[in-house]
Amino acid sequence: MNLIKSPEEIQIMAEGGKILAKVLKEIAAMVKPGITTLELDRAAEALILKYGSRPAFKGYEKFPYSLCASVNENIVHGYPSNQPLKEGDIVGLDLGVLYKGYNTDSAITVAVGQISFEAKRLLKVTEKALRLGIKKARAGVTTGDIGNTIQRFIEDQGFGVVRDLYGHGIGKKVHEDPLVPNFGKRQEGTELKEGMVICIEPMVTAGSYEMKRSDDGYGYATRDGSLAAHFEHTIAITKDGCRILTAP
């Protein structure tokens, strides 16, 4: 598989990324106590189609929805459900868009009404970890350099870093090489080169980083029941550093 995308391919992905960012922002604004994640999924799919693209996740590895919605202790890949969200919940919204044959992928974790101080810290730290990982990403560094930067920051804040799930390359397929861990050692892993497009996505836990299958049988949850948060952007490696393709 060719990991290097042409400037024309990256531009198509940037156009798809703008659509994704717009949809994700609109879906996040809908989050409030009483709404269901199934309603969010239906709204996300309708918006994606309205803006001239297709849901990247629907049908991928038998996933039947457009939106991954992971509530509280659920880390990623949660099935949308008809269970209403409650005041104090947090919900991870992970969405992919297929536009002109190329995929982009992005995620945020959103508060449902007023949340606890610890939940606020978890969201803040996870989002900052993503920013630090993106800042580190440039030609010549390795995926281990990015993972090490993310891990050290998160663990310094007293949170856990999920070890069994990774960021990834992306393009014509949702998941491509290389794997992009949120932990690791400097100078290990794959060296990034200009033209690569990757997803950086810290998955952070308030307790142990150990995980298990979610109750829905598809997603993943923390083994100890602690809260989890997830933020993600699709980025392209450029001669000057990197370009966030899914920035709002």
pTM of the model: 0.96
Q: What are the phi and psi torsion angles at 243 (to 5°)?
A: -125, 125
pLDDT tens profile 118-153: 999 999 999 999 999 999 999 999 999 999 999 999
pLDDT tens profile 3-33: 899 999 999 999 999 999 999 999 999 999 9
Quote the strand ranges of the chain, DSSP E: 54-55, 67-71, 74-76, 90-99, 102-111, 160-161, 167-169, 176-180, 197-200, 203-205, 211-213, 220-222, 228-230, 233-238, 241-244
pLDDT tens profile 80-105: 999 999 999 999 999 999 999 999 99
| β-sheet bridge partners, residue 104 | 97
pLDDT band of 2, cuts 50, 70, 90 = confident
Distance CA 215, CA 225 (A): 12
Distance CA 198, CA 85 (A): 31
Mean pLDDT in the chain? 97
Nearest to 159 by CA among 205, 202, 128: 205
**Could you say which of 1.10.275.10, 3.30.70.1070, 3.90.230.10, 2.40.420.20 is the CATH number of the domain covering 7-244?**
3.90.230.10
The pLDDT of residue 47 is above 80: yes
Tell me, what's the pLDDT at 180?
98
Distance CA 221, CA 208 (A): 11
The pLDDT of residue 1 is above 70: no
Distance CA 6, CA 239 (A): 13
Distance CA 155, CA 141 (A): 21
